[in-house]
Amino acid sequence: MKTISLKITVMGHVQMVGFRWFAKRQADILGIKGYAKNTSRGEVEILAQGDSELMPQFLDYMKIGPSRARVNRLQKEDMITDKIYDNFLIKM
């Protein structure tokens, strides 16, 4: 198992639709750690740490989002970080 960290930015109609809670639910199911937070630009930013084999499944969920969301674009970048998360947080 290789652990990787990704910064994921989700763009579209993704705030006020339960997207952060959706991300947490999927992360908890897959054992992904990190956080989800709203940005001032109307996006959702996610830092995801987890098994490299499970990350594509998590990304697929983030491309869809909860039923009331409309994801127009998803951007991901590899992250190098010393911070290790114990769980998946929803940041305000």
Task: Show which residues are catalytic.
Answer: 20, 38
- Of 72, 83, 5, which is closest to residue 41 (Cα–Cα)? 72
